[in-house]
């Protein structure tokens, strides 16, 4: 899996990550964006989303 320097680069260069991110609710996108430097792959993006939505069931 490709690694990127940050969320911005990931979304710019990985269409699958961009589509996934765009489909998220606004509050989740904001949570992930606040930690943009920690997001460097689709897997790390999904992990941050899981943390943001913990307890939403």
Is 25 part of a structural domain of the chain? yes
User: Is residue 19 one of the residues assigned to a domain?
Assistant: yes
Domain assignment of residue 33, yes or no: yes
Range of the domain at 38: 7-53
What integer pLDDT is reported at residue 55 of this predicted model?
Answer: 74
Counting the structural domains of the chain, the total is: 1
Residue 46 lies in a domain: yes
Answer for the pair 6, 40: CB distance below 8 angstroms, yes or no.
yes
**Residue 1 maps to a domain:** no
- pLDDT tens, position by position, 3-46: 999 999 999 999 999 999 999 999 999 999 999 999 999 999 99
Q: Categorize the per-residue pLDDT at 1 as very low, low, confident or very high, splitting at 50, 70 and 90.
A: confident
User: Any residues with CB less than 8 A from the CB of 17 and at least 6 apart, and which?
Assistant: 10, 11, 42, 45
pLDDT at 18: 98
pLDDT confidence of residue 57: 58
């Amino acid at each position: 899996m490709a690694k990127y320097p940050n969320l911005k680069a990931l979304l710019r260069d990985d269409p699958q990550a961009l589509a996934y991110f765009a489909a998220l609710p606004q509050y989740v996108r904001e949570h992930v964006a606040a930690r943009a430097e920690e997001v460097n792959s689709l897997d790390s993006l999904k992990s941050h989303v899981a943390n943001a939505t913990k307890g939403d069931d």
